[in-house]
Structure 1
């Protein structure tokens, strides 16, 4: 589910950004192929909780790749001066737009990721409280010292070194 959410957001952001920047709607087979590639990459990374930096870096890499794929898939009828035809590296405005959208979306996805993992941890704790058999078996640690090690006697003086005894009646006031 996480990989599907990530790939849907990434692909929708790319396609809508491509069209909003003046590009044509990409062909359906281009969107399907790009979506399959993004889903495959997201599924590889969906095994554990990811940080904001990891999510934003993955999203930026995929956004830049999708920009080029969508530009090549729909660049047939565009003039040579159009930013989609020249490429992302030649258009500073296009690069800034992609990076801004990527950072905002990456932060949004990371917040959702941390919320989802917090809910899953909470649900796991509650399930283990209700069903004790679901808990993982406790691992018994080996003793820190062997059982045959001689016990060194402790002198009473060492044990009572820091104790203070104040038994008896109080001293008279002067």
Structure 2
């Protein structure tokens, strides 16, 4: 299933806002400042980089890689475009040597990027599950009904399989209703 232009633009915009917002929040938390035009440029860069990746569903690895690369680019953009001001105005900026973060900031960036990527990947999976389900139901409603007074007849293809698509359960939902199986002896 591929996305149309409207869905692609909406997904790229949502990704760009989350990515630029994460970069801005991390930069401000580190004591930096970001001018409005610099933030708008970072948002535009994130949107343009994310747009080609919105044609179809993406997994957590692609989202993590894209988000990591954009966070590095935004960090460099925000660090190089900062306005000159006295260090005592807000406090000392946490960066050790301007463009390179110290170990604590690097760890915090990695945690923030990892958690945000997982959050975006879950949202991506739910969006595509909803779209698949809607398309299945829409397709099933477009089939002509059976004769009046008779229950609907399942149409079967030559192979014996159902001709109409079945609803696909979302991948993130466990469908078992029974309690979990007992662990093999020796593992408990």
TM-score normalised to structure 2 length: 0.65
Alignment coverage as a number of residue pairs: 131
C-alpha change, 1:104 and 1:42, in structure 2 (3 Å) is same
Q: Which has the larger radius of gyration?
A: 1
Take 1:78 and 1:61, find their aligned partners in 2: how far apart are those partners?
31
Identify the residue that residue 119 of structure 1 maps to in structure 2: 130
Q: Deviations over 1:119-141 (max 9, x none)?
A: 000000000001139xxxxxxxx
| Structure 2 equivalent of residue 99 of structure 1 | 110
DSSP 3-state at the match of 2:85: coil
Distance in 1 (CA, whole Å) between partners of 2:76 and 2:96 is 9
Indicate whether 1:131 and 2:124 are aligned.
Answer: no
Shift of 1:88: 4.9
Mapped pair 1:6 → 2:22: no
Preserved CA contact (<8 Å) 2:96 2:102: no
**Larger fraction in helix:** 1
Q: How does 1:23-102 map to 2 (within 5 A)?
A: 23-24=32-33, 26-74=34-82, 76-77=84-85, 79=87, 82-84=93-95, 86-102=97-113
- In the TM superposition, residue 75 of structure 1 has moved relative to its aligned partner by 5.2
Determine if contact 2:67/2:113 at 8 Å carries over to the other structure. yes
Q: CA deviation at 1:34?
A: 0.9
Instruction: Determine the C-alpha separation between the residues in 2 that align with 1:84 and 1:71.
Output: 9
Q: What RMSD, in angstroms, separates the aligned Cα atoms of the two structures?
A: 1.8
